[in-house]
C-alpha cells in the first residue's frame, strides 16, 4: 500500500480479487470439523481424569461442622473424666473424714472458752491454739458425743497441742478439768522474780525452785543452753494444779520457750547473724531490760551489735542493776557503775555471762533481726511513756541524757531518787 491506495497487484483490487473455489470451501469445512472433534475428545479425557463426585463435594462443605462436633465430643469426654476424678476425691475425703491429729498430744497449753460460745466458735479456738488439726474434726466429734459437748462450761482448760479432736472434746466436757488457778510471768522478769511470783501464787518454796534451776536436767533445756536457766523461762500465763511441784511449775515455761524459738526459727537466724543461739538469748534478755518494746527493740539491739563490732563496751545500766539484784531502779549512780561484777558491762567488755532477764517474743526477734543503722548510744528520755532516743555521737547523747534527767527531776519517785 502506497499513499493509502491499493496497488494493482493487491487482492483488494476489484480486478485482482477472485471468490474462493469449492475445493477451498471444502478444505475449510474439514478443518473446522477436525477442531470440533479434537475439543470433544479433550473434554471427555478431562472428565475421565477427574469425574464429578457429589459425595466428595458434600464432604468438603461439611468438613468444618464435623470438626466442631469432634471438639465438642472431646470436651464432653474430658469433662466426664474431671467430674469423675473430683467426685472421687470428694467421696474419698468424705469416707476418710476430716483431718485429725493421731494424738495423744504435744505441749501443754491453756484455752479459754468464753460464755455463749457455740460449737463453731469453740472449734475455732482449739484450731487457733493448734489443739486440733481441723475445726471439722472437733465438730464431728461433738455431734457424735453430744453429752460431752453439753457439759462444756465457760472456763479455762489445760489441754495439749496436737490432740485427737475426740480427746480434746472429752477434756472440755469434764468439769473436773477446769483450771482453777494460774500464774502470770511478765516479760523481763529475772529468775529471782519468777521464783518469787510462783511461790506467792502457788506456794511452791523458792528454795525448791532454786535447787531445780541449779540442776536443771529434768527441765530439758536446749543442749546449747549449757545448763543455764536464766533467759529460758518463757513469760506467759500458766495453769497449775492444787499442789504443784517445782518441776511442774518450771517445765511448762521451758517447753514454751522451746516452742517459741522453733516458731521464730531463732537458732537459724542467730547462726546467720554469726552468733551462737545462747549469745542471742543473752542479747534478747539485755534488750528486754533496756526497753524491748515493739517500737525500739530492734534499734536497741542494733546499738549493742554496733558496739560489739568495734570493741566498744556495752555500758548497759541494766547489767549493773542485775549484778546488784536491783531491778526496780532507773537512776544508776557513779558508785553503782563501779560495782565489780562480770555482769557490769561498764567494766567488762562484751556480752554479760548469761541473760539478765527472761525475754519475750519481741526481744527474741530483735536479738536475731537487729536494725541496720550507725547509732552507738540510746537513752529512755521519758520512761513513763516509753520514749527512747538514739545518737551517733557523745555530744548528741548528752543532750538526750539531759532530757532524761529533767524527767527524773519531775518524777522523783518513779526515777528512784525520792
CATH number of the domain bearing residue 172: 3.30.1490.480
As a whole number, mean pLDDT of residues 280-302 equals 94
What grid cell was written down for 376?
552507738
Residue 37 lies in a domain: no
pLDDT classification of 64: cutoffs 50, 70, 90: low
One domain, residues 279 and 411: yes
Q: Which of 177, 203, 218 is the last residue of a domain?
A: 177
Helices (H), 145-237: 146-150, 165-172, 191-202, 206-214
Each residue of 133-153: pLDDT tens digit?
A: 999 999 999 999 999 999 999
What integer pLDDT is reported at residue 31 of this predicted model? 47
Each residue of 345-365: pLDDT tens digit?
A: 999 999 999 999 999 999 999
Q: Which of 136, 156, 177 is the last residue of a domain?
A: 177
As a whole number, mean pLDDT of residues 147-163 equals 91
Residue 343 lies in a domain: yes
Residue 348 lies in a domain: yes
One domain, residues 172 and 279: no
What integer pLDDT is reported at residue 19 of this predicted model? 47
What integer pLDDT is reported at residue 50 of this predicted model? 45
Those residues whose C-beta lies under 8 Å from the C-beta of residue 146, and which sit 6 or more positions away, are: none
Residue 24 lies in a domain: no
Residue 165 reports pLDDT greater than 70 = yes
Residue 393 lies in a domain: yes
Query: What domain count does the chain have?
Result: 2
pLDDT classification of 83: cutoffs 50, 70, 90: low
Instruction: Work out the angle at residue 19's Cα, subtended by the Cα atoms of residues 14 and 20, and round it to the nearest 5 degrees.
Output: 145
Long-range contacts of 172-181 (CB under 8 A, 24+ apart): 172/113, 172/122, 172/148, 173/145, 173/147, 173/148, 173/149, 174/148, 175/151, 178/153, 179/110, 179/155, 179/239, 180/242, 181/239, 181/240, 181/242
167: containing domain: 108-177
Residue 338 reports pLDDT greater than 60 = yes
Who wins on pLDDT, 92 or 357?
Answer: 357
As a whole number, mean pLDDT of residues 274-302 equals 95
Q: Which of 177, 209, 229 is the last residue of a domain?
A: 177
pLDDT classification of 416: cutoffs 50, 70, 90: confident
Of 241-250, 293-302, 326-335, 340-349, least confident by mean pLDDT is: 326-335
What integer pLDDT is reported at residue 53 of this predicted model? 47
Residue 16 lies in a domain: no
What integer pLDDT is reported at residue 29 of this predicted model? 53
One domain, residues 293 and 403: yes
Average pLDDT value over all residues in the chain: 83
DSSP code at position 177: G
Each residue of 22-57: pLDDT tens digit?
A: 444 554 455 455 455 555 555 455 455 444 444 444
Who wins on pLDDT, 188 or 11?
Answer: 188
What integer pLDDT is reported at residue 181 of this predicted model? 81
Amino acid at each position: 500500500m502506497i499513499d493509502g491506495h491499493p496497488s494493482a497487484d493487491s487482492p483488494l483490487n476489484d480486478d485482482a480479487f477472485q471468490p474462493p473455489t469449492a475445493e477451498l470451501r471444502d478444505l475449510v469445512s474439514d478443518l473446522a470439523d477436525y477442531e470440533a472433534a479434537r475439543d470433544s475428545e479433550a473434554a471427555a479425557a478431562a472428565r475421565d481424569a477427574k469425574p464429578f463426585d457429589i459425595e466428595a463435594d458434600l464432604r468438603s462443605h461439611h468438613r468444618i461442622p464435623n470438626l466442631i462436633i469432634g471438639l465438642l465430643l472431646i470436651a464432653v469426654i474430658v469433662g466426664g473424666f474431671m467430674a469423675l476424678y473430683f467426685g472421687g476425691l470428694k467421696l474419698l475425703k468424705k469416707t476418710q473424714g476430716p483431718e485429725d491429729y493421731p494424738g495423744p498430744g504435744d505441749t501443754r497449753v491453756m484455752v479459754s472458752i468464753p460464755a455463749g460460745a457455740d460449737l463453731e466458735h469453740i472449734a475455732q479456738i482449739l484450731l487457733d491454739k493448734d489443739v486440733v488439726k481441723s475445726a471439722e474434726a472437733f465438730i464431728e466429734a461433738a455431734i457424735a458425743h453430744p453429752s460431752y459437748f453439753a457439759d462444756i462450761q465457760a472456763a479455762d482448760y489445760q489441754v495439749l497441742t496436737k490432740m485427737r479432736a475426740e480427746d480434746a472434746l472429752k477434756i472440755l466436757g469434764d468439769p473436773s478439768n477446769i483450771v482453777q488457778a494460774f500464774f502470770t510471768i511478765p516479760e523481763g522478769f529475772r529468775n529471782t522474780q519468777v521464783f518469787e511470783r510462783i511461790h506467792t501464787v502457788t506456794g511452791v518454796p523458792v528454795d525448791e525452785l532454786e535447787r531445780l534451776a541449779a540442776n536443771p536436767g529434768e527441765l530439758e533445756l536446749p543442749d546449747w543452753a549449757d545448763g543455764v536457766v536464766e533467759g529460758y523461762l518463757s513469760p506467759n500465763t500458766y495453769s497449775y494444779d492444787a499442789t504443784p511441784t517445782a518441776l511442774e511449775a518450771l517445765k511448762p515455761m521451758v517447753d514454751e520457750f522451746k516452742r517459741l524459738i522453733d516458731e521464730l526459727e531463732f537458732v537459724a537466724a542467730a547462726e546467720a547473724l554469726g552468733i551462737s543461739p545462747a549469745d542471742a538469748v543473752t542479747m534478747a534478755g539485755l534488750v528486754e531490760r533496756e526497753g524491748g518494746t515493739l517500737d525500739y527493740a530492734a534499734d536497741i539491739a542494733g546499738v549493742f551489735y554496733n558496739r560489739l563490732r568495734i570493741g566498744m563496751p556495752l555500758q548497759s545500766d541494766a547489767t549493773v542493776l542485775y549484778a546488784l539484784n536491783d531491778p526496780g531502779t532507773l537512776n544508776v549512780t557513779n558508785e553503782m557503775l563501779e560495782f565489780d561484777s562480770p555482769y557490769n558491762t561498764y567494766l567488762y567488755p562484751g556480752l554479760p555471762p548469761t541473760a539478765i532477764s527472761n525475754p519475750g517474743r519481741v526481744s527474741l526477734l530483735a536479738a536475731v533481726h537487729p536494725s541496720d543503722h550507725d547509732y552507738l548510744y540510746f537513752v529512755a528520755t521519758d520512761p513513763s511513756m516509753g520514749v527512747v532516743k538514739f545518737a551517733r555521737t557523745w555530744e548528741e547523747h548528752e543532750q538526750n541524757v539531759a532530757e532524761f534527767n529533767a524527767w527524773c527531776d519531775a518524777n522523783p519517785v518513779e526515777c528512784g531518787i525520792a
